[in-house]
Amino acid sequence: MLILVANLGSTSFKYRLFRMEEHGGEVIAKGAYERVTDYAAVIDEALATLQRDGIIRRADEIDAVGFKTVLGKDLSGCVFADQTVIDALEGFTAVAPAHNPPYAAGIRQFGKSLPTARLVALFETAFYQWTSAASATYAVPARWRDIGIRRYGFHGASHKFIAERSAELCGREDVARVARRLYLDGPQPVAGSPFRVVSCHLGGSSSVTGIRNGMAIGSSMGFSPQSGVPQNNRVGDLDSGAIPYAMHTLGISLDEAARQLTKESGLLGLSGISNDIRDVYTAAAAGHPEARLALDTLVHSIRHWAGAFHFELGGLEALVFTAGIGENGVAIRAAVCQHLESFGIHLDAGRNAACWATEAVISTADSPVKIIVIPANEELVLAREVFRKLS
Ligand code: ADP
């Protein structure tokens, strides 16, 4: 089955074309366009390039297009990308202004350019569809809840992949099977002992998710991808009382406060140096105190959320690191795991130091909790879900 995964940014269009089969898949072509003003033109250009390069003979050989949509009003899951999806995306443009309009435009355009292909949207919130009402609810008045203000959770594609892969690596094929079929069958009971995971997706944006028997119980990201762990230039968790106080005291508008919290906060705001953790590390090593504080604050927040889910899960079988910082950040992983031996979390310093961007168990051989690094590949995750839905 040929599946094109479309990654639509506010001014970019990237794609990967996968050939998917029952037991895996491979990328057979990819492309990227920057400074996009007309999605119709670049999508048609990409389809023409695939034919010119001999990858496909006709555009209708592409069976499906997958979209990693972020957040839809009143809609989530892995669903066919029809007008309902476009309406859901446009209903929440105010919450995800950089993400929702390009996906709505892209889905419309693919519907015209590839009328025979099935269009599938996988919402980043999909993995959290079955979290409890208590964990999804903010204590706000009913009229706020009525307009959709609740905890959604994000990075769902990445964390669901961790749910599957961690179960496979820990010999829990029963849980892996439930996790793989989650969007088809919903959560299913698992016989025997529970399989509990804390998944740390640490990258340009970061989130920590608790997973029981293949299903998320909650995430550090709540109503928007703005919350939770400090991000590259986004604030993460912030007391709601700070916003009116900063507006009054600094004399800034609501729009300006929102801009500063999304563009000038996080690692960049704390360090004053960079939104890339590698630069922050270099500065911290050279004795820069704000850079040190940025790293310590990030680690503190990851531990805070990991600890919350560990407690809620009532135990832990695996602690997983994924995405750019999770896969490469030897020192961050060491700091997150420090002094947790009484919880059964024993990091092997040598294995940790030797693990760069590769799948590996980095706990000691006798650690009750397995600590695992699993590389993220969100396009492949998306292609797999589309394949499962259509198979
Ligand atoms: P995104 O969320 O943008 O997809 P990634 O998952 O690719 O981001 O993660 C990007 C981040 O990973 C970079 O900002 C950088 O801080 C971090 N990173 C990449 N390589 C390394 C490395 N070798 N060591 C530590 N951190 C790294």
- Would you say residue 145 lies in a domain? no
What is the CATH classification number for the domain harbouring 369?
A: 3.30.420.40
- Shared domain for 106 and 184, answered yes or no, is no
Give Cβ neighbours of residue 274 (< 8 Å, ≥ 6 apart): 267, 268, 280, 283
Q: What is the 3-state secondary structure (H, E, C) of 361-374?
A: ECECCCCCEEEEEC
Q: Where are the alpha helices (DSSP H) in the chain?
A: 39-52, 83-91, 100-113, 133-136, 142-146, 156-169, 173-180, 182-185, 242-250, 254-263, 266-271, 277-285, 289-313, 323-328, 330-336, 349-354, 378-390
Q: In the prediction, which pLDDT does 272 show?
A: 97
Kindly state whether residue 342 falls inside one of the protein's structural domains.
Answer: yes
C-alpha 187 to ligand 1 mean position (Å): 32
Question: If you take atom 12 of ligand 1, which residue's CA is the nearest one?
Answer: 324
The domain total for the chain is 2
In a domain, 250, yes or no: no
The residue whose CA has the least distance to atom 25 of ligand 1 is 329
Taking the CA of residue 332 as reference, the ligand 1 atom at the shortest distance is: 25
pLDDT digit string, tens, across residues 138-175: 999 999 999 999 999 999 999 999 999 999 999 999 99
Q: Give the nearest ligand 1 atom to 205 CA.
A: 2
Residues 297 and 168 in one domain: yes
- The protein residue whose alpha carbon is closest to atom 7 in ligand 1 is 324
Residues 307 and 359 in one domain: yes
Pocket test for ligand 1, best of 159, 273, 277 (most atoms within 8 A of CB): 277
Global pTM reads: 0.96
Please indicate whether residue 278, judged by its CB atom, sits closer than 6 Å to ligand 1.
Answer: yes
User: Which token pair is 194?
Assistant: 């529970």
- pLDDT tens digits, 15-59: 999 999 988 899 999 999 999 988 899 999 999 999 999 999 999
| pLDDT digits 0-9 by tens, 225-250 | 999 999 999 999 999 999 999 999 99
Domain that holds residue 219: 162-237+264-378
Confirm whether 317 is domain-assigned: yes
Residue 98 has pLDDT above 90, yes or no: no
